[in-house]
Amino acid sequence: MRSTFLITAAAIATAVSAAPATLQKRATTAQVIETCTVPGTIALTFDDGPYEYTWDLAETLKKNGVKATFFMNGENWVDVNTQSVQTSAGKKTYKQVIKHVYDMGHQLGSHTYHHLELAGQSTSKVKSEMTKMETIFRSIIGKNPLYMRPPAGAYDSNTLKTLGGMGYKAVLWDIDSNDWRYSEISSLSHEQANYKSVIEKDSKTKPHGHIALHHDVYEKTAEKLVPWVISYIKSKGTYKFVTVAECLGNTKGSAYRTKQ
């Protein structure tokens, strides 16, 4: 679900150096990314997890040769610090679920700690949400993500200034599956139409790059929508599934920073 922007992306987009993430000079305003810059790439992204479907979804994607990006919370559908889940590999803590996603070759990103919409929030509140989530990531993979997604796509000038000062880039999307809206409907017709409304407009010889939004907290998304998306996109024969970092022309490893 995407909220109305309080300012336009064009008004705040900032050029960022191509140097490695740990050596970059922090931008004064976070760059806002709405789509892939590498033609013919598609970055599947998943918000709001981890949840009970995340472990197996990470494996399903890998088995199909798909690398995706997961924007995660610390305390949203579950409390990552205290809760566990029964997976196909046995009972696992949610920290183990996050590590599993990373080990499967997917990219991790921040979605704030409490899934707090950041527009209108104070600098200290934005920093608190982000640093709490950083603590989770460092305890699991030893580093922080470079990319984040603002919950509901909501931000304002202070949000971007604060995120930029912390070294983040904000990732939005140009394909919205709207899976949250149709999670209780068995048919995939709505989600399929949302995909096709974008993909079918692409050139068959030089397709655009795209960032697609989904949520791994819904069973329908994990078990029905994702398999359809993989099959549909592969049937086009012109797209490559990549992480967000890769769809912007960067390496997968550049999606993280080890320094504060």
Q: What is the pLDDT of residue 26?
A: 59
Percent of residues, the chain, with pLDDT higher than 90: 87
Q: Which amino acid is at 61?
A: L
Report yes or no on 41 lying in a domain: yes
Q: Give the active site residue among 106, 208, 210, 215.
A: 215
CATH assignment of the domain containing 179? 3.20.20.370
pLDDT in tens, 192-242: 999 999 999 999 899 999 999 999 999 999 999 999 999 999 999 999 999
47 carries an active-site annotation: yes
Residue 83: pLDDT band (50, 70, 90) is very high
The helix/strand/coil state of 108 is: strand
Report yes or no on 45 lying in a domain: yes
Check pLDDT > 90 for residue 260.
no
| Mean of pLDDT values over 119-125 | 98
Check pLDDT > 50 for residue 183.
yes
pLDDT in tens, 147-166: 999 999 999 999 999 999 99
- Find the domain containing 94 and state its range: 28-257
The helix/strand/coil state of 216 is: coil
Q: What is the pLDDT of residue 258?
A: 76
Report yes or no on 113 lying in a domain: yes
Alpha-carbon distance of 112 to 157, in angstroms, equals: 17
215 carries an active-site annotation: yes
Residue 184, burial from CB neighbour count under 10 angstroms (0-12, 13-18, 19+): exposed
